[in-house]
Amino acid sequence: MARAHAPARKALTTALAWTAGLLIFFPILWTVLTSFKTEAEAIADPPLFLFFDWTLENYAVVQERSDYMRFLWNSTIIAGGSTLLGVLIAVPAAWSMAFVPSKRTKDILLWMLSTKMLPAVGVLYPIYLIFIELGLLDTRVGLTVVVMLINLPIIVWMLYTYFREIPGEILEAARMDGADLRSEILHVLAPMALPGIASTVLLNVILAWNEAFWTLNLTAVDAAPLTAFIASYSSPEGLFFAKLSAASTMAIAPILILGWFSQKQLVRGLTFGAVK
Amino acid sequence: MATRHSRAAARMMMAPAVVLLLGWMLVPLTMTLWFSFRRYLPMRGGDLGWAGFDNYVRFVTSSTFWPSIQATLIIVGGVLVVTVVLGVLLALLLDQPLWGQGIVRILVIAPFFVMPTVSALVWKNMFMDPVNGLFAHLWRFFGAEPVAWMSEASLQSIIMIVSWQWLPFATLILLTAIQSLDREQLEAAEMDGAGPLSRFAHIILPHLSRAVTVVILIQTIFLLSVFAEIFVTTQGSFGTRTLTYLIYQRVLESQNVGLGSAGGVYAIILANIVAIFLMRIVGKNLDA
């Protein structure tokens, strides 16, 4: 019975799903479209969808007004640096927990996860104070370290769940053949672990890029990344929708593209392996 | 398979991560705990000595405390309801055979990659602005009076913005869970004459219960500390001052560190209560 109606049903679900998808995506689409309008067109009623005078002026104005490249550079350094540092620290830890588990491995993993649950605002002042004392306030180094630390538990967990899927027998076989620890890691483990590490890197770059508590509270000018760049548009000044849109598009475009590549890893990374 | 030698090596390899996280947790936590028992006003004389439980009592008895708890609960609860209900529906829809599934998935997941400051400002201005926002255009088109969203419906607005950000997360996890459902079981139920509703209630929903729990717990932890969305929209006015925002204001804006730290300890306890439940589920999964 169901088969006879299959094409009609598929057409209906397709229509429904596309409607839902476009509705959800609409704010992003609207932002991108508005970024190419003039300020007057941006607030036109009825709204203009495609038939307006496309212009790149807003992008030029935003770049001129607030030096987008500097914020982009800071975001790149902080997201890239914190991920790289985090992976360097997490790979050995995850490796040892996955392949040389002890009775305490599970407790350590859960404890690491629990540090992620610490509400940031609860330790805001101490970190602020430490940053002042060490001269780290508004520096890329300080922010890179903090963002690395808040994401470290996720990095360890993701790597751990990937490493655990590598069969231990392969390692034993390599050992039987006389491979030492170094060549075991380099020639056996690394090729198998690379996809997992790559997905971990991808997801954590995204999380670090969008981190908006510490980046807003610990930076002012020099180290401010794109999250802070956008926040400077929070006090409206005349007509500014088109410029806001251009700034927003520039802030989200790089990571949106990365994100679409990493959607499969998202589930595993953000549920700490609880849903696969 | 592990020799004593490899165990020692394993401990060495774990050490950097463990030491760093231990420091990251213990040092600031100890400081917060210490400050919470001090009269500490950096702009007005600095550390003015021991305060006992004064800060804890004052934080809870201040007129801003209960409204902040209320705002927090409404925002967290509202977002959870919206994302879980819509997430289940969307996941069911995306699980059906349809044309262009990959593209629809990409469209649905996109908001998750938008940084909080961007999504809050785009919604606040381009959609919710009472004069020039799209909603205002839409309302006027239907002859209705435009709503001043951020002041008249501030909590609903924040819920809408944050739900938009988290719906992809809920949908993706629930979709992953639905796809792991045993198809034969569904077909067998259909053969036995179970309608779509009863199949949903008796097979799909119980199967999803674990994923729903995980979604609720993980989102709760993140939602309890929603900050940027309020920071760039209402700045805590119009009843949107959540516990997180209240503590932020006490600590950094009014520089009453003692009082704010006591609030911080309350927030940490609250988050830990949620965390314990999540850890149980994750812990069980580790054994499997």
At A243-268, the pLDDT tens digits run: 999 999 999 998 888 877 777 666 66
Spatial separation of the C-alpha atoms in residues A170 and B129, rounded to whole Å: 60
Which of A200-204, B42-46, B63-67 is the least confident region? B42-46
Placement of tokens 């004593």 in the chain:
B4
Cβ neighbourhood burial of B9 (10 Å; 0-12, 13-18, 19+) = middle
A41 residue type, one letter = E
Which pLDDT score, from 0 to 100, does residue B177 have?
87
* Mean local confidence (pLDDT), B154-173: 94
For the stretch B69-84, pLDDT in tens is 999 999 999 999 999 9
Q: Are A131 and A218 contacting, i.e. CB atoms less than 8 angstroms apart?
A: yes
* Segments making up each domain of chain B, as ranges: 49-287
| Residue reference for tokens 């927003």 | A248
Partner residue facing B108 (CB), from A24, A97, A241: A24
- Measure in Å the smallest separation between the Cα of B228 and chain A Cα atoms: 6
CA–CA distances in Å: residue A6 to residues A9, A12, B45, B98, B184: 5, 10, 76, 10, 18
| C-alpha radius of gyration, chain A, whole number | 24
Report in angstroms the alpha-carbon separations of A168 from A102, A163, A165, B1, B24. 15, 10, 9, 9, 33
Checking if the pLDDT of A168 tops 80, the result is no
Name the region of B144 (left: φ>0; alpha: ψ -120 to 50; beta: rest): beta
**DSSP states along B4-49:** HHHHHHHHHHHHHHHHHHHHHHHHHHHHHHHHHTEEEETTTTEEEE
Residues of A in Cβ contact (< 8 Å) with B111: 24-25, 27-28
Please state the rounded mean pLDDT for residues B189-195. Answer: 84
In the block, which residue shows the tokens 């251009």?
A246
Q: Are B76 and B223 in contact (CB under 8 A)?
A: yes
DSSP codes joined into one string, A85-108: HHHHHHHHHHHHHHHS--TTHHHH
ipTM attached to this prediction: 0.88
Check A20 against B121: CB less than 8 A apart. no
State yes or no: pLDDT of B171 exceeds 90. yes
What is the pTM (predicted TM-score) of this model? 0.88
Q: Residue A270: which pLDDT band, with cuts at 50, 70 and 90?
A: low
Looking at per-residue pLDDT, the higher value among B275 and A276 belongs to: B275
Averaged pLDDT, B142-162: 91
What are the tens digits of pLDDT across the range B205-214? Answer: 888 888 888 8
**Which token pair is A169?**
């027998």
Instruction: Identify the structural domains of chain A with CATH numbers, from first to last.
Output: 6-59 (no CATH), 66-270 (1.10.3720.10)
Angstrom distance (rounded) from CA A10 to CA A261: 27
Q: Is the Cβ pair B118, A230 closer than 8 Å? A: yes
CA pair distance B200, B188, nearest whole angstrom: 14
For A:67-96, CB contacts with B below 8 A are: 89-90, 92-93, 95-96
Nearest to B43 by CA among B266, B265, B246, B250: B250
H helix intervals, A123-184 = 124-133, 140-164, 168-176, 181-183
- Is residue B21 pLDDT above 70, yes or no? yes
B41 bridge partner residues: B46
pLDDT digits (tens, 9 = 90+) for A208-230: 998 999 999 998 888 899 998 88
Model pLDDT for residues A114-137, shown as the tens digit of each residue: 888 888 998 999 999 999 999 999
Token duo for residue A31: 């932002």
Q: Do residues A199 and A258 make contact, with C-beta atoms less than 8 angstroms apart?
A: no
- pLDDT tens digits, B106-138: 899 899 899 999 999 999 999 998 888 899 999
CA distances from A107 to A116, B246, B286 (A): 15, 34, 10
Q: Which residue has the higher pLDDT, B3 or A179?
A: A179
CATH of B49-287 given 3.40.1280.10, 3.30.559.10, 2.30.300.10, 1.10.3720.10: 1.10.3720.10
Segment of A81-90, B52-61, B271-280 carrying the highest mean pLDDT:
A81-90
Count of C-beta atoms within a 10 Å radius of residue A261: 12
Q: What is the mean pLDDT of chain B?
A: 88
- B138–A contact, CB cutoff 8 A: no
Residue of B nearest to A100 (CA): B2
Q: From CA B50, how far away is CA B36, in angstroms rounded?
A: 9
By Cβ distance, the residue of B21, B137, B140 closest to A112 is B21
Residues 6+ apart with CB under 8 A from A191: none
Q: In terms of Cα–Cα distance, which of B209, B222, B270 is closest to B68?
A: B270
Whether the CB of A30 is below 8 Å from some CB of chain B: the reply is yes
- Whether residue A255 and residue B115 make contact (CB cut-off 8 A), yes or no, is yes
Q: What pLDDT shows up at residue A174?
A: 78
A226: left (phi over 0), alpha (psi -120 to 50) or beta: alpha
Question: In angstroms, rounded to a whole number, what is the distance separating the alpha carbons of residues A213 and A223?
Answer: 14
Q: How confident is the model at residue A1 (pLDDT cuts 50, 70, 90)?
A: very low
Residue bearing tokens 């708890």: B69
Map tokens 């999380």 to a residue.
A207
Considering only CB atoms, which chain B residues are within 8 Å of A132? Answer: none
- pLDDT at residue B230 is higher than 80: yes
Is-contact B176 A275, C-beta < 8 A? Answer: yes
Tokens coding A1: 């019975």
Q: Which of A210, A241, A273 sits opposite B115 (nearest CB)?
A: A210
3-state class (DSSP) for residue A212? coil
Give tens-digit pLDDT for A59-80: 998 888 888 889 999 999 999 9
Q: How far is CA A112 from CA A105, A107, B36, B180, in A?
A: 11, 9, 25, 28
- Share above pLDDT 90 across residues of chain A, in percent, rounded to a whole number: 38
Do the beta carbons of residue B17 and residue A89 sit within 8 Å? yes
**Owner of token pair 């780290």:** A136
- What letter would DSSP give residue B113? G
B123 within 8 A of B117, measured Cβ to Cβ: no
CA distance B189 to B203: 9
